[in-house]
Amino acid sequence: MMRISETVKHLLIINVIMFIGTVAIGEGVLFYDWFAMHFPKNEAFKPWQIITHMFMHGSPMHLFFNMFALWMFGSPVEQALGSKRFLFIYFSAGLGAVAMQVGYYYFQYLPTYDSLLGSGLSSDQIIQMLSTNKVIEGTSQAQFSQLQHIFPIFNASMVGASGCLMGIMAAFGMMNPNAELMLIFLPIPIKAKYFIPGIIALDLISGISGQSIFGYGNIAHFAHVGGAVTGFLIMWYWKKTQFNRNRWY
């Protein structure tokens, strides 16, 4: 059985503690309000959520699968790169995940928001209706339809270490391209150099289409892509400029 590396062990403990806090304090709401990543236009957004959401999880299964992936991929990556470089990839990938997912949200949100402003609604009126889910008097059917379109974005929240882990998986794949991996629902060995790009491609297709290929919803697919791309770029840069080639295998 693979030994858990020191930094990975600490990350596992922090994630478990945060999940216990989520379910035990404030009836499952308080920690989400404080620490989940909210859409920046929403008043619930706080700057620290950019980091704290990486330690939050929505269910026991969400926590289990992410922590299993952290142990499986994180330990060999930390053992190869050391704790400092491992953490740099981990948090950079998490930030890249946030940037891509929130950027996608803004791509959807801003045109509709500008259209609502052009239709005669004020910024305060738009925010009020999106925050309270109550339509003010005089709102037209067209305005209501536009508000419905951006309501889920305005009230969206992100939790989970998945973006960080996608960056770690990308690093693992670059260091161990011929390692054989399997999906739980597809127990066929696939080399990492095909498996990990394949997972990223499925996330990208799911994000663009709006239909999750993975069979369940509530997944921030563009966050996964952002985390993986960030991890890949960091490893590509390090491989090109810093590392002795013999350290990769």
Task: Give exposure, 162-196, as e/b (b: 16+ Cβ within 10 Å).
Answer: bbbbbbbbbbbbbbbeebebeeeeeeeebebeebb
Contacts of 151 (CB under 8 A, 6+ apart): 130, 133
Residue of 96, 238, 118 lying closest to 164 (CA atoms) = 96
**Helix locations, the chain, DSSP H:** 6-24, 30-35, 49-52, 60-69, 75-81, 83-118, 123-132, 141-154, 162-175, 192-209, 221-241
pLDDT for 11-20, tens place per residue? 999 999 999 9
156/240: higher pLDDT? 156
Mean pLDDT, rounded, of the chain: 88
Residue of 180, 41, 64, 204 lying closest to 114 (CA atoms) = 41
- Residue 1, pLDDT > 70, answer no
User: According to the model, what pLDDT value does residue 29 have?
Assistant: 87
User: According to the model, what pLDDT value does residue 78 have?
Assistant: 96
- Residue 232, pLDDT > 70, answer yes
Amino acid at 194: Y
Q: Report the range of poorest mean pLDDT among 45-49, 180-184, 211-215.
A: 211-215
- The pair phi, psi for residue 104, each rounded to 5°, is -65, -40
- Residue 241 — pLDDT band, cuts 50, 70, 90? confident
pLDDT for 89-108, tens place per residue? 999 999 999 999 999 999 99
Q: Is 234 left (phi over 0), alpha (psi -120 to 50) or beta?
A: alpha
User: According to the model, what pLDDT value does residue 201 have?
Assistant: 83
Cα distance between residue 124 and residue 18, in whole Å: 34
Q: Which domains does the chain have, with CATH numbers?
A: 6-248 (1.20.1540.10)
User: According to the model, what pLDDT value does residue 220 have?
Assistant: 79
217/210: higher pLDDT? 210
- Residue 64 — pLDDT band, cuts 50, 70, 90? very high
pLDDT for 124-165, tens place per residue? 999 999 999 998 888 899 999 999 999 999 999 999 999 999
| Angle at CA of residue 202, ends 101 and 186, nearest 5° | 135
Q: How many residues does the chain have?
A: 249
Cα distance between residue 26 and residue 232, in whole Å: 38
